[in-house]
Amino acid sequence: MLKGAIFDFDGTIVDSMYIWDNISMDYLRSLGIEPRENLNEVFAKLSMEQAARYYQDNYGVARSVDEIIHGVNEMIKDFYRTKVTLKKGIENYLSYLGGQGVKVCIATLTDKDIVKERLKRLGVANHYSEVVSCIEYPDGKNTPDLYNKALSHLGTQKQETYIFEDALYALKTAKEDGFPTVAVFDKYEPLQKELESTSDIYITDYTDTRLFTLPG
């Protein structure tokens, strides 16, 4: 049976992907630098550290990686505090998992302190045991290291631990490493058909009754 669940944050637990529409370019503009390209596409698969190095290497930003990450995080904090909302049905589903004794962890590209603060404000801070951030893993979700770190924290077996993701590339990483997967619809992922065909289960929201009978 299902013993563990590892959730992405942005686009999976919360509706927040719109925040990232302009933040990468707004950060450069705050430094007086005009972007030469659509950075949303460039940064889609990058961790915060990788994005910071991209700024340095391609735009000559003369700040350290930590300073860049701090600057971006400061810009997004207000969005998370005031505008981010939960995905439909997620609060009830997290409560259900807790009632079943399923261990829950969050694996995210976003700074863990921001995630914890927002989940507390949304009233679901008691539904997970840990947040693992890609800031600790420079390759982000292009490799399964982050998921396996979350798995080791849960202490469950891979075959009984589901990965919940909205991004195709991240879901592929988890799937190829042997995790069962649930794909969560988010309009900011354009490749929905491929996302559906790659995942074990594809849902539009957390009211889908199949979620309550996941095999392990």
4-15+86-213 domain in CATH 3.60.21.10? Answer: no
pLDDT tens string 18-69? 877 788 899 999 999 999 888 887 887 788 899 999 999 999 999 999 999 9
What are the boundaries of each domain within the chain? 4-15+86-213, 17-82
**For the residues 137-144, what does the mean pLDDT come to?**
89
Cα gap 77→73, rounded to integer Å: 6
DSSP H or E stretch at residue 163: strand 161-165
Please state, in angstroms and rounded to a whole number, the distance separating the CA atoms of residues 21 and 87.
18
Please check whether residue 162 is in contact with residue 4, taking contact to mean a CB–CB distance below 8 angstroms.
yes
Q: How far apart are CA 173 and CA 188, in angstroms?
A: 19
